[in-house]
Amino acid sequence: MSGFAEKSNNVLEGKYASAIREPLGFGFQRGYQWPDKTMSGAMSFGKPTKDSLHAKELIYAAGGSKEEKNEVKKMYIKTHGNYAPGEQKTRDYEWVNNPRVGAGDGETLHHAFGYGEEKLLNGAQKAVMPERAHESFPKTVIVKKTVEDAKAV
């Protein structure tokens, strides 16, 4: 922009609070009033550290990781679900003592998850020809509305 256009643009942009608090090319000015001793550069925030340790040395100790005892590992699995990477989850179910397992009356033991229903054989045939399946479906009876109203009272 030319000098006059830039000057008039600055006057127009000066109306906005964002242009005042964050002018182009500068950071956001929050308007803090710091004490004079902070401006000298000799003051610093926080406590200086005596020994400077790197975060890597603190997180990953030089001795490496120690193996956990089996009891501790089982406790963390139970409370936090903390399985090792690639470890198969086991819930230690005893399927033989489960009441939903077959009684073993000559059949092999089995287990079924979820809600079990009795199987209906020839369901499509009974749906197409309901007159042949008297025991499966209730018979539809058509009555007058006045009779139904009298039953409802």
Residue 94 pLDDT: 66
In a domain, 142, yes or no: yes
Q: Which of 78, 112, 77, 74 is nearest to 95 (CA)?
A: 112
Residue 134 pLDDT: 60
In a domain, 136, yes or no: yes
Count of the separate structural domains present in the chain: 2
In a domain, 21, yes or no: yes
Question: What confidence tens digit (pLDDT) does each residue in 64-100 have?
Answer: 667 778 888 888 888 998 888 888 887 777 666 555 4
117 compared with 97, residue with greater pLDDT: 117
Q: CA dihedral in degrees (122, 125, 130, 132; nearest 10)? A: -80
Question: What confidence tens digit (pLDDT) does each residue in 27-55 have?
Answer: 887 888 888 888 787 787 787 777 777 88
Q: Is 83 helix (H, G, I), strand (E, B) or coil?
A: coil
In a domain, 114, yes or no: no
In a domain, 35, yes or no: no
In a domain, 17, yes or no: yes
21 compared with 74, residue with greater pLDDT: 74
In a domain, 49, yes or no: no
In a domain, 14, yes or no: yes
**Domain around 21:** 3-30
